[in-house]
Amino acid sequence: MNFDSLNALTSEEELLEIYRAPTDVVINKEVYELDDGCKDFIKSSTFLLMGTVCERGNLDVSPRGGPAGFVKVVDEKCLAIPDLNGNNRLDSIRNIITHGKIGLLFLIPGLGETLRINGSALVTTDQEILEIFADKLKVPKAAIVVRIETAFIHCAKSFLRGNVWQPEKWLDKECRPSAGQILVEHSGLESDITGDEVEAMLKAGYKHDLKLDRPKKGRMSANLKRPKR
């Protein structure tokens, strides 16, 4: 395929010729701070996708996950996301520090609708912010604080089309690509290691890193301890 020879749309006018206009409900559902519905969604979410952009304009999307409530609503305009153990590429963190813009897509397992949030972001080591995660997680090294500019619920059609929450329609394991084999092919190490060996290394690494996210047994943040009566 010759990418540059494709018939590309080059104007908004051309775009509007092939798509119908959105309804008033779709346009007016956008809010500019976190209402009760948004707060409830965030408190129930265990997974999000984070979109950022670097100063050169290159885009990046990164997944983030944790127990329900791992993202904290600070107030009607701000939320905080812990930076948990990862691969230390720090792509999202670098982009936020250099550009400061962010797009979030929150998911709740089993629910087709998603919550989209766009805004400004910063990376902080402010201890007052970091300690708010101590109810469920080890206090992180840093956190991403997002100031909301727009938020809205996105419809479920994509999840329904993709059968995302319907296990009976998922591909059998034998028909899915192996993460281990993909990584072997990515790195060009087919002659040195097998996909099964990489798969075993991945599982061991996941188990180790996820354990590091949890607070030590018996530890509780001082502000979470209840006074004796």
Please say if the pLDDT value at position 225 is more than 60. no
State the alpha helices, DSSP H only, in the chain.
Answer: 12-18, 24-28, 36-44, 91-99, 127-130, 157-161, 179-187, 195-213
Closest CA to 69 of 43, 47, 48, 49: 43
Closest CA to 79 of 46, 110, 119: 119
Q: What per-residue confidence (pLDDT) applies to 54?
A: 92
- Pull the structure tokens for residue 110: 């089993």
- For 95, counting Cβ atoms within 10 Å of its Cβ (0-12 exposed, 13-18 middle, 19+ buried), the class is buried
Mean pLDDT within 35-52: 98
- For 18, counting Cβ atoms within 10 Å of its Cβ (0-12 exposed, 13-18 middle, 19+ buried), the class is exposed
Mean pLDDT within 172-177: 90
Please say if the pLDDT value at position 154 is more than 90. yes
pTM of the complete model = 0.89
CATH topology of domain 14-161: Pnp Oxidase; Chain A (2.30.110)
Q: State how far the Cα of 189 lies from the Cα of 125, in Å rounded to an integer.
A: 38
Q: State how far the Cα of 27 lies from the Cα of 37, in Å rounded to an integer.
A: 18
